[in-house]
Amino acid sequence: MMTTSNKVGKGNIIVTKNLKRTYSLGEISVDALRGIDLNIRSGEFLVILGPSGSGKTTLLNLLGGIDSPTGGTIRVNGSDISTFNEKKLSEYRRNRVGWIFQFFNLIPSLTAVENVALALEMAMVKNDMMERSLEALDLVGIPGKTDMFPSQLSGGEQQRVAIARALVKRPQIVLADEPTGNLDWVTGRKIAELMKDLNRKEGITFVVVSHDVSITDVADRVIHLQDGKISKKKINLPRSKKVIEE
């Protein structure tokens, strides 16, 4: 079984304080995030819901080190990544964060296993690249299609390859942006359950942003964003599946 290389305890892996992001469009300023206070526990499966324009993707990009805040702090394992220079940010993105996207973002000219191995190449991992890539594909349930190109795979199979690509680096955190948004309901449900299964078995922290309410069934916790602020938080109780307000 694949194991993460940088597992931490069950404390908070990510803590944001008064996190803000403002975009300037000429003379107009748009407040995408307006003061987000958020604690994310190590090994948690967190789902962030909200309509288009609520700030979901902006928040995910900040947590992943793709974008920088205009105010507040983002601490990952105690280090404020908003103060990192580009070299340290690049190392953070390369080694500690895995990404899953709505539209898969696979390279059409590469096979499934080559797409997964590319993540290791970009992370400058030289040893056992093929073995680790095949292991990741086996983990997500498509070991027999490793030599197929994306065009030969279904949407669900392509998303499984994308999940394997995110996991092969053995990150602490996986960030998923609308991972079921380009799939039919049945396939999307299978992908959601796969991510939860990997979260439980591998101990990886998952942060998933979505407008798909059905994905909340597999969440440990659900947060609603509205107009750049947290409007509601919920906890899923594992036995009864009853949802209670925090």
Which pair of tokens denotes residue 36? 């987000």
Measured between alpha carbons, how far is 126 from 143 in angstroms, rounded to an integer? Answer: 22
Q: DSSP assignment, residue 137?
A: H
Task: Report yes or no: 158 and 106 within 8 Å, Cβ to Cβ.
Answer: yes
Strand pairing of 28-41 and 173-177? unpaired
Measured between alpha carbons, how far is 211 from 51 in angstroms, rounded to an integer? Answer: 6
Write the burial class of residue 226 (CB in 10 Å: 0-12 exposed, 13-18 middle, 19+ buried).
Answer: middle
Write the burial class of residue 75 (CB in 10 Å: 0-12 exposed, 13-18 middle, 19+ buried).
Answer: middle
- Whether 134 shows a pLDDT value over 70: the answer reads yes
Of 101, 83, 104, residue with least CA distance to 92: 83
Average pLDDT over residues 45-63: 95
Alpha helices, DSSP H, located in 97-128: 112-122
Give pLDDT tens digits for 70-119: 999 999 999 999 999 999 999 999 989 999 998 889 999 999 999 999 99
Residue 238 backbone class (left: φ over 0; alpha: ψ -120 to 50; beta: rest)? alpha
pLDDT at 125: 84
Phi, psi (rounded to 5 degrees) for 121: -60, -45
162 alpha carbon, distance to own chain's centre: 11
pLDDT at 27: 86
Measured at the CA of 54, the angle between CA 219 and CA 211, to 5 degrees, comes to 40
The band of 122, judged by pLDDT with boundaries at 50, 70 and 90, is confident
pTM score: 0.89
Quick one: what percent of the chain has pLDDT higher than 90?
A: 78
Helix axes 112-122, 155-167, angle to 10 degrees: 30
Strand intervals (E) in the chain: 12-25, 28-41, 45-49, 71-76, 79-80, 97-100, 173-177, 205-210, 221-226, 229-236, 243-245
Give pLDDT tens digits for 162-211: 999 999 999 999 999 999 988 999 999 999 999 999 999 999 999 999 98
Task: Kindly calculate the radius of gyration of the chain based on its CA atoms and give it in whole angstroms.
Answer: 18
Domains of the chain: 12-238 (3.40.50.300)
